[in-house]
Amino acid sequence: MRKRPGKKGLGTVLHLVDNQLIVRAGRLSVERMINAMVMTADKRKIGKIYDIFGPVDHPYVSVRPLGNLKEEELKKLVHTKLYVL
């Protein structure tokens, strides 16, 4: 039986800018993270990683939300921890 890969902690949402979530990432390997699926702790899919920028040891990540999420829902995610599938 194959083990199913678990979710990895991405970081905490700082704010919403131009309909994108800005996340302060922890120490993580950013290789091949562009377009990775991002979700909440309860496994609700939020969006995909669009860009990685800032310092190498604790980068910032912009997450482009899925089309079905409204701005009010995105604002509620500020200060929430997100995960990468």
Residue 66: its pLDDT value, please?
Answer: 93
- Over residues 61-74, the pLDDT tens digits come to 999 999 888 999 99
Number of Cβ within a 10 Å radius of residue 69: 16
Residue 31: its pLDDT value, please?
Answer: 65
Mean pLDDT of the region 73-79: 94
3-state percent helix, strand, coil for the chain, nearest multiple of 5: 5, 45, 50
Residue 27: its pLDDT value, please?
Answer: 74
CB 63 within 8 A of CB 16: no
Residue 57: its pLDDT value, please?
Answer: 83
Domain 9-69+76-84, CATH number (from 2.40.10.230, 3.20.20.100, 3.30.300.20, 3.10.129.10):
2.40.10.230
Question: Taking 70 as the threshold, does the pLDDT of residue 23 lie above it?
Answer: yes
